[in-house]
Structures are given as C-alpha cells and as structure tokens.
Amino acid sequence: MPSHERVLPPLSRRGFLTAGTAAALALAPGPAWAGPRPFGPYGSPTARLTPKTLFVHPAGRGDFTSVQAAVTAASGSGWTLVVAPGTYRETVAVDATRTDMTWIGAGDDPRAVVIVYDNAAGTPKPGGGTYGTTGSATTLVQADGFTAHRITFANDWLRADHPGVSGTQAVAIKVQGDRSAFHHCRFLGHQDTLYADSMALGVFARQYFAHCYAEGDVDFVFGRGTAVFEHCHFRTLTRTDLSSAPYGFVFAPSTAGANPRGYLVTRSRVTGEAPDAYYKLARPWVPSSDPTARPSLTVRDTHLGPGIDAVAPYANMSDSFPWQDQRFAEYRNTGPGAVVTVPENRPRLTAAEAESHTRGTYLGDWRPYERP
C-alpha cells in the first residue's frame, strides 16, 4: 500500500451496523476533502478535469446525489465518477454498454465512501417472487473495463432480523465484466459477499483485486470469473446461529470446465473472529446450470490464520462433485491454517507448476497492476 495512504484497522459489517454510520466509517476527525473540497484533487462540477467526469455528493454539491443517477447519465464509454465521502443507500447497476467506467472514492480510505443496501435472495420483490442471489446484489457490474478505487461495497442484510427467510444469500457486489479492477476496496456481507463471475458460461471474464478487504461466512467469495486477488485480506465472521463447525467457507469457485484458470489468491492473508478450525478454505460450486464446471482455486504465498481447518481445509458442496476432482492447489502458504497434517487433504503445486499460477498468466495481456 502506498505510504501516503492512511491505514485503518478492518471493521466488520456487524460493526458498521451497530456502531452508527459516523463511528463505523471512522470519519472523525473527518475524511480528507470533506470540507471546501469534497472531491479532493479530482476537480468539481465547476472545474472538471475531463469532460467525461461526473461528481456524486450526498448533500447536493455534485452533479448527482446518488451513484445510480450518475451511472444512468453516463451513457456510452469512458466515464469517470468521483464519489464524495458518505453512505449511499441504494442499489446500483452498470450495464454492459457502459464500458471502461471508473469510480473514484474521493476519501483517503475506502471506509469514507460506502454503497450499501439490504436485499437477500429470499427478500420478497414488490411485483411478486423473490430477488434470488443475483437480484440481491447491492452493486451489479456487467460492463467491461470497470475500475473502482477506495470504495466500500456492502450488503447489510442480517439473518437474525429475518428468521423466516430461507434464501440468506446477500451479495454486496456481482462483477461480470472482463477487465474489472478494484484497488483498495472493501466488500462487506455474510453469505455470498463478493460474486466474481462472468456474463455467460463461455465468457472468461478477467478480474483483479489489489489491496482489498472482503469478509463474510458462507461462500463469501464465489463465482466463475478468472480473478486474481493480490495483497488482499479475507476475514471470516463468527456466527451466533451455529454451535459447531464449520461456520462457513471462504471461497466457492464455479469455474467453467473449458476455462483453464479460475481464482488465484496470492500474497494475501485470511484471518477471522471465529474459533480455531471453524472455517474451510474452500468448497467447489458446481451449479445446476453447468454440471460440467470444474472449480479452480490456487492459494499461494498467503498466510492462513488459525480459523482455517488445517486438517481438512476443503469440503464438498455436493457429494456428486467431490473437491478432490476439482482444481484446488496451494503453494508456499504460511500460518496455522496452512500446516500440512494430512497430506492428501492439501493438494500442493511443485515449483515448476507454480510458474504458471501468477497474475501474468491469469490476466494475459491485461496488466491492471502496472501504473500508467
């Protein structure tokens, strides 16, 4: 992380809900540029740095007060949205026509700009039926070339508040576009927090997450995208509704069988607030819509905390598709959750094999990690 950025300790979504907006977002003594210059060095509606820049401010000091209103106005390609510090309680959708869009959080920390809503898969829709997993997403990104900097994407739906709802998936963001990049962003939820996916079964969408934070419990990073997570922090949450392990699973890839690369986690860390060994590292998701899927996950050079079950870090989502038949691998991981006690439960790459599991091989000619 660049030295000029202020680093704050992670705050759980539960803390976000219970501490109150200002305290939970750690805004005191105030985010940078909250006063006379709410958009910082990125201009303003009266001083646009580029003609394709739009400004969002919750109190009306920008072009729009909601992110979705700005997205709707930004038709075509190549727009930049500068979002002032604040909490935006809304759902946002970026359709496939709005390519190469960039969102910039105009604070010095991703907690300053929060996009949050509270739909779940089982939430009733106004016109009948329920939202389903995809429909629960607070933010949906379908366009290619999307980039976000310093923004928190959250879904604050809680199981405890809805004991009669069985569809507890509550997505903070679903990303389907190719060349989607997130830098210093946060993803908060419980079940199905971060949906790294693609637009169609035959589309291999590349995504890059750098210096990001994601938290949750059940399958909270999941989907069929080709996604690289570098220098990221994954945090498992405790659960008051369960009395025994496992509480959940960090990753649930659903990589298409024809796609040679699924998820790559590198130089990252997994921590948690749950008891030791109460989480599995991953389980494979073979959806009914694609029974030929072969979920792919490589975790390398990553610290696995004590919350990960070192003896049996992988589990089946369905016994019809055992995890041993999928493409799971590890390489040079550290920490209590990485200790190899049962070798057959820890598929490991050789040094030669690891050479093909890098951000370069996964992302190809797209290099979002290089500064322009």
The model's pTM is 0.92
Q: Model confidence at 371, in pLDDT bands (50, 70, 90)?
A: confident
Query: For residue range 259-276, what is the model confidence (pLDDT) as tens digits?
Result: 999 999 999 999 999 999
Mean per-residue pLDDT, 158-170: 94
**289 contact partners, CB below 8 Å, separation of at least 6:** 201
Catalytic residues: 192, 219
Mean pLDDT within 245-264: 98
Bond prior to 322 in cis (omega within 30° of 0): no
292 has pLDDT over 70: yes
Q: pLDDT grade, residue 340 (50/70/90)?
A: very high
DSSP lists the bridge partners of residue 149 as: 104, 183
Q: What is the DSSP string of 9-77?
A: ----HHHHHHS-HHHHTT-TT--TT-SS-TTGGG-BTTB-SSTTEEEE-TTSSSSBSSHHHHHHH--SS
Query: Does 10 have pLDDT greater than 80?
Result: no
- Cα gap 87→115, rounded to integer Å: 6
Q: What percent of the chain has pLDDT over 70?
A: 90
Segment 180-201, tens digit of pLDDT: 999 999 999 999 999 999 999 9
Q: Supply the pLDDT for residue 34.
A: 52
- Tens digits of residue pLDDT in 66-118: 999 999 999 999 999 999 999 999 999 999 999 999 999 999 999 999 999 99
- Terminal Cα-to-Cα distance of the chain (whole angstroms): 17
pLDDT tens per residue, range 25-77: 333 333 444 567 999 999 999 999 999 999 999 999 999 999 999 999 999 99
At 132, give phi and psi (nearest 5°). Answer: 75, 170
Per-residue pLDDT band at 6 (split at 50, 70, 90): very low
